[in-house]
């Protein structure tokens, strides 16, 4: 239903629809804004509390926690668009947690420059093509490359860790922006409740 | 050497580096806001200690959680310990993991694959 959100009445009606949609899609958390360390800590603490209340297994609790931290840190690292919007949108994004009957889904979305989408796609395609053992080997290789003492950067450690911890492929989508220099990058990770 | 003793918080691990009493321990949660800034004094301390480490060292890791950014810095800790072990053959890592936490157990196995130091894997 479309509302005239310029009027107070229309906006309040719209919020009710938003509330119903969140219930409908089983959204537990939704946030849009700057992802800081304090925000990461607040969301992980809140989610830990909810996981406890839902009486999830220790394994599910740990994995949801892991994926949340790495996903949020991906926004602070990769939300780096070019051009006019850079200052406003740097380190910002949308963050969503849903719980269905079979799995939790953790979704992040952020603006990023078209130069970095190629690198992100390459890493994600590689991670999604590997089996458990291969992911483990890649993790060991990247952690060595990323260590401070060797200082060669370890690209994609967060993605590798997410894939290993969930055992599921990482879903993603890249939506080009009209400015032709940026894209909206969406990452969706499922964690089985079993 | 002056000891380092830090109480763990909800995002930084507890640290004990006490050469005099031979207690070396990292425990708890690690997801600091600035991971390099947090680990820098620890790496510095260990590098200084490495120059004069004769006695036997048991280094305890008892982690509940660490993020991937911390995992790189923890490898740096292991790499310094590896240097000490190469020189004196005197380091033992005690890797504690919660009984039902296969991810933390596996993390210990991975570190022991990467560095050449004896590991003891202990569930609790």
pLDDT digits (tens, 9 = 90+) for B23-66: 999 999 999 999 999 999 999 999 999 998 878 999 999 999 99
Q: Under a CB-based contact definition with an 8 Å cutoff, are residues B96 and B60 in contact?
A: yes
A157 CB near a chain B CB, below 8 Å?
yes
Per-residue confidence (pLDDT) for residue A147, from 0 to 100: 62
Per-residue confidence (pLDDT) for residue A152, from 0 to 100: 44
Using the beta-carbon criterion (under 8 Å), do B103 and A149 form an inter-chain contact?
A: no
Q: State pTM to two decimals.
A: 0.90
How far is the first Cα of chain A from the last one, in angstroms, to the nearest whole number?
36
The mean pLDDT of B86-91, rounded to a whole number, is 88
What residue numbers bound the domain in which B65 lies? 4-91
User: Is residue B38 included in any domain, yes or no?
Assistant: yes
Banded model confidence at residue B82, pLDDT cuts 50, 70, 90: very high
Per-residue confidence (pLDDT) for residue B53, from 0 to 100: 82
Q: Which long-range contacts (CB under 8 A, 24 or more apart) does B86-91 make?
A: B86/B116, B87/B50, B87/B53, B88/B53, B88/B54, B90/B53, B90/B54, B90/B55, B90/B56, B90/B57, B91/B57, B91/B59, B91/B117, B91/B118
Chain B residue at shortest CA distance from A159: B68
Distance from CA of B82 to the nearest CA of A (A): 13
pLDDT in tens, chain A (194 residues): 678 888 888 899 999 999 999 999 999 999 999 999 999 999 999 999 999 998 999 999 999 999 999 999 888 878 889 988 888 889 999 999 999 999 999 999 999 999 989 889 999 999 999 999 999 999 999 888 866 555 444 568 899 999 999 999 999 999 999 999 999 999 999 999 97
| H or E element that contains A72 | helix A58-78
CATH code for position B46: 3.30.750
Using the beta-carbon criterion (under 8 Å), do B72 and A146 form an inter-chain contact?
A: yes
User: Is residue B105 included in any domain, yes or no?
Assistant: no
Using the beta-carbon criterion (under 8 Å), do B10 and A41 form an inter-chain contact?
A: yes
Angle, to 10 degrees, between the axis of helix A157-166 and the axis of helix A114-129? 40
Per-residue confidence (pLDDT) for residue A151, from 0 to 100: 45
The total domain count for chain B is 1
Chain A residue at shortest CA distance from B32: A37
Per-residue confidence (pLDDT) for residue A148, from 0 to 100: 58
User: Is residue B124 included in any domain, yes or no?
Assistant: no
Per-residue confidence (pLDDT) for residue A177, from 0 to 100: 95
Distance from CA of A19 to the nearest CA of B (A): 32
User: Is residue B10 included in any domain, yes or no?
Assistant: yes
Phi, psi dihedrals of residue A110, rounded to the nearest 5°: -155, 160
User: Is residue B36 included in any domain, yes or no?
Assistant: yes
Q: Under a CB-based contact definition with an 8 Å cutoff, are residues B85 and B49 in contact?
A: no
User: Is residue B37 included in any domain, yes or no?
Assistant: yes
Per-residue confidence (pLDDT) for residue B101, from 0 to 100: 94
User: Is residue B106 included in any domain, yes or no?
Assistant: no
With a pLDDT cut of 70, the percent of chain B lying above it is 100
Per-residue confidence (pLDDT) for residue A38, from 0 to 100: 93
User: Is residue B16 included in any domain, yes or no?
Assistant: yes
Using the beta-carbon criterion (under 8 Å), do A161 and B68 form an inter-chain contact?
A: yes
Return residues 62-81 of A near B (CB < 8 Å): 62-63, 65-66, 69-70, 73
């Amino acid at each position: 239903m479309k509302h005239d959100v310029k009027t107070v009445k229309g906006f309040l009606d719209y919020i009710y629809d938003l509330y119903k949609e969140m219930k409908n899609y089983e959204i537990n958390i939704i946030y849009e804004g700057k992802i800081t360390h304090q925000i990461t800590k607040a969301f992980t603490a809140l989610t830990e509390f909810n996981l406890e209340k839902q009486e999830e297994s220790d394994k599910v609790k740990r994995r949801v926690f892991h994926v949340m931290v790495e996903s949020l840190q991906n926004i602070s690292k990769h939300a780096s668009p070019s051009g006019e919007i850079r200052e406003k949108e740097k380190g910002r994004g949308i963050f969503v947690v849903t719980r269905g009957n079979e799995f939790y889904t953790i979704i992040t979305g952020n603006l990023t420059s078209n130069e970095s989408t190629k690198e992100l796609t390459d890493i994600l395609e590689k991670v999604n093509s590997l089996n458990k053992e291969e992911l483990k080997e890649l993790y060991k290789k990247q952690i060595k490359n990323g260590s401070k003492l060797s200082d060669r950067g370890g690209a994609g450690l967060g993605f590798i860790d997410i894939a290993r911890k969930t055992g599921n492929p990482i879903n993603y989508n890249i939506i080009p922006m009209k400015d032709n220099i940026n894209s909206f990058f969406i990452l969706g990770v499922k964690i089985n409740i079993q | 050497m002056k000891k380092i003793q830090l109480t763990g918080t909800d995002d930084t691990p507890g640290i004990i580096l006490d050469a005099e009493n031979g207690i070396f321990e990292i425990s708890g949660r690690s997801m600091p806001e600035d991971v390099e800034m947090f680990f820098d004094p620890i790496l510095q301390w260990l590098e200084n200690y490495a120059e004069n480490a004769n006695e036997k060292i048991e280094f305890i890791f008892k982690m509940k959680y660490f993020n991937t950014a911390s995992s790189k810095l923890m490898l740096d800790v292991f790499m310094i310990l590896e240097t000490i072990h190469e020189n004196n053959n005197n380091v033992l890592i005690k890797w504690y993991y919660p009984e039902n936490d296969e991810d933390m157990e596996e993390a210990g196995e991975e570190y022991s694959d990467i560095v050449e130091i004896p590991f003891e894997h202990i569930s609790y």
